[in-house]
Amino acid sequence: MMIVCATRADASGSRVIVVGAGILGSALAATLGRDGRNVLVIERDWSEPDRIVGELLQPGGVKALQQLGLEGCLEGIDAITCNGYAVFYPNEEVLLPYPLDKSHNEGKSFHHGRFVSNLRKAAKESPNVTALEGTVSSLITCPVSDRVLGVSFSQKNADGESASQNAYAPLTIVADGCFSKFRKEYITKDVTCSSNFVGFVLTDCPLPHPNHGHVVLAKPSPILLYQIGTHDTRILVDIPGKLPSVSNGDLKKYMMDVVGPQLPKAVQPSFLKAIESDRPRSMPNSWLPPSTNRREGVILLGDAMNMRHPLTGGGMTVALWDVIHLRKALARDVVPDLGESTRVMAQMVKLHWKRKPLASVVNILAQALYKLFSAGDDENMKNLQKACFGYFKLGGRCVSTPVGLLGG
């Protein structure tokens, strides 16, 4: 077994291991590296991800990228500007623009993999960052103090054989995403899943309101549409409970009989083509309330620590703001030595409260709006849904306040 120290030997205790180079891990590795920490980031697969998640970044997320000096990651990926939402109720629709403030308030939608590749490139090009391809299999814990000392991970050699290695650092940051392998050891809260999103890509689909996310208040639950490239539009269909089978054709039938007729007319031809030609992809829509990091030597962040329904597209915004908050919490003048657990733990309590104003708003809105928009046949919820739509129609602050909150 080989032993890897997080980048160069560093007596100042400024080394950090980051597990996972997704949205949070890459942005964090770039940021900490630029701030002078020695970072070892271990990702199981550095090739461009192909996923149906994280494709619309709210204006608040764009601003977080700017603060991190990572706004360039939105360039060169055929990203589409998003100025707000269009909500469709049977026979009615309402536009919900992002409120304008001093700066330009716009979101961006894109192919997730292209954005992540740019974030990863920024991480790799940042000073003090070492990037390794490997799958982290366990966190190494001191049997006496219970402190996390580093990670065990496996790497494939040139012959394709796996070799196990250990890496040690005063601090390990786990950002291994929604299916986190490690959270159960450090978090007592459970992940709950209310529904799945099934996604297709529609080609050259004429959206009724270009440069807007489209939310169709369908039965039994909402459908999202947004352009992710010049020719590509993502559709995400929320399906509560168990997914209909793909193999016996039930899912396709559901798409044709239940979903298709509820879509805006202009979208229907591209949708029918997509369900014939595109492979349906699904992802669970999960809820995980946040927790304060309390174990020495380890911090969980991103989807590993906190998730909300993706209806409102808030996950990346929360993750990028968490990078800003963590950067401040662990600034070198505040915590010169990351091995000083008492200081790090005190900062984790502060981090919990610092992230709350944004994360709670995004989390609560996502969960509440999903409940409302998936009213199904519940008469009370249907009335509330109608009231919510009527409220949006009032315009003015009835739009700018909720959409401003949703936009992070």
Ligand X SMILES: Cc1cc2nc3c(=O)[nH]c(=O)nc-3n(C[C@H](O)[C@H](O)[C@H](O)COP(=O)(O)OP(=O)(O)OC[C@H]3O[C@@H](n4cnc5c(N)ncnc54)[C@H](O)[C@@H]3O)c2cc1C
Binding site residues, ligand X, CB under 6 A: 19-25, 42-45, 52-57, 135-136, 175-178, 181, 197, 283, 285, 302-304, 310, 313-317, 319
Coil/strand/helix, residue 211: coil
Closest C-alpha among 408, 373, 34, 49 to residue 194: 373
Smallest distance from ligand X to CB 370, Å: 12
Q: Which is closer to ligand X, CB of 130 or CB of 317?
A: 317
Smallest distance from ligand X to CB 224, Å: 8
Smallest distance from ligand X to CB 18, Å: 9
Cα–Cα distances (Å) from 302 to 95, 100, 144, 215, 309, in that order, read 31, 28, 29, 25, 14
Residue 380 in tokens: 């009370």
| C-alpha to C-alpha distance for 47 and 361, rounded to whole angstroms | 33
| C-alpha to C-alpha distance for 370 and 220, rounded to whole angstroms | 11
Q: Which is closer to ligand X, CB of 13 or CB of 113?
A: 113
Smallest distance from ligand X to CB 183, Å: 11
Q: Which is closer to ligand X, CB of 304 or CB of 403?
A: 304
Smallest distance from ligand X to CB 175, Å: 5
Q: Which is closer to ligand X, CB of 89 or CB of 197?
A: 197
Smallest distance from ligand X to CB 396, Å: 27
Q: Which is closer to ligand X, CB of 155 or CB of 341?
A: 155
Q: Which is closer to ligand X, CB of 181 or CB of 352?
A: 181
Residue facing ligand X at closest CB distance:
22
Phi and psi torsions of 366, nearest 5°? -60, -50
31 alpha carbon, distance to own chain's centre:
18
Closest C-alpha among 347, 352, 373, 339 to residue 147: 339
| C-alpha to C-alpha distance for 136 and 42, rounded to whole angstroms | 7
Phi and psi torsions of 176, nearest 5°? -95, 15
| C-alpha to C-alpha distance for 381 and 371, rounded to whole angstroms | 8
